[in-house]
Structures are given as C-alpha cells and as structure tokens.
Amino acid sequence: MRKSRFTESQIIRVLKEVEGGRQVAELCREYDISDATYYNWKAKYGGMEVSDIKRLKELDEENQRLKRMFADLSLKHEALKDIVEKKALRPAEKRDLVDYARDEHGLSLSGACEILKLSLSVYRNRPKPNRDLPVIEAI
C-alpha cells in the first residue's frame, strides 16, 4: 500500500479546519488533495483526535503481534501433537504423560487424553499386576 504524504495529525488538522468553517474546495486546493481524498479522510478519521489515532495504531500493532504469537503457538502445538501421535507409545507411557499434563499444565482428564489420543477407558482401566511375577522371577 502506498504511503500517504500526510501524517495522521496533519489529516486531523485539515478536518478540523473544515469543521471550523473553511470550504472543502479551498482546503483541497491549498493542500493539493482531491475532494475524494478529503472525504475518504473524513470517513476514516472523522470525529477522532490525534490521541485516538495513536491509541488505534497501538491497538493495531498489538493485535498484529498477538496474531503472530497465536500463529506460532498453534504451529508448535500441531507439531507436538503430530510427534506424540507418530511416536509409538505404549498405553502405560501415555497414562504417565496424561498425569504429567494434568499436574503440570492443569489440563482436564478428557483434554489430556484427547491430546495424547488415549481413550478414557484405557486410561482408567490399568492392567492388574501379575500375581505370578515372584514365581517367574525365581525361576
């Protein structure tokens, strides 16, 4: 987009002059702008003060920054989900990760299970310990 020859404060000053009683055609000749430019400025900046424009610019910059942050975090989130999905984890390991996600990040049980692609029934139904393990180890 082309940069304007006029700053926002200059545009506000031109609009205030018309509000003060000067003719639009006269101001357009003086500042070497077209009538259409004046009316575009009036539509965009009409009723604003210089401080309002500065605040609007600050909000716009912050909005752009937050959009970039959101895009970066979304990309990282998707990458982590793909890694967890592709890595062949056993249900026991996924249970441990669900517990970690709940403790460290405050996720709900269903939310953590959804992220790790582990069904709630698999999380809740843990395998029973093998009662024959001491005998097997003795052999």
Largest CA distance in the chain: 105
Q: Do the beta carbons of residue 89 and residue 83 sit within 8 Å?
A: no
d(CA 31, CA 37): 11
pLDDT reading at 1 higher than 60 = no
Quote the CA–CA distance of 121 and 139 in Å, as a whole number: 35
Q: What is the pLDDT of residues 38-76, one digit of tens each?
A: 999 999 888 888 888 889 889 999 999 999 999 988 888
pTM > 0.85: yes or no: no
Is the distance from CB of 12 to CB of 49 less than 8 angstroms? yes
Give tens-digit pLDDT for 109-135: 998 888 888 899 999 988 887 777 787
Digit-coded pLDDT (tens) for 3-38 = 778 888 888 899 999 888 899 999 899 999 999 999
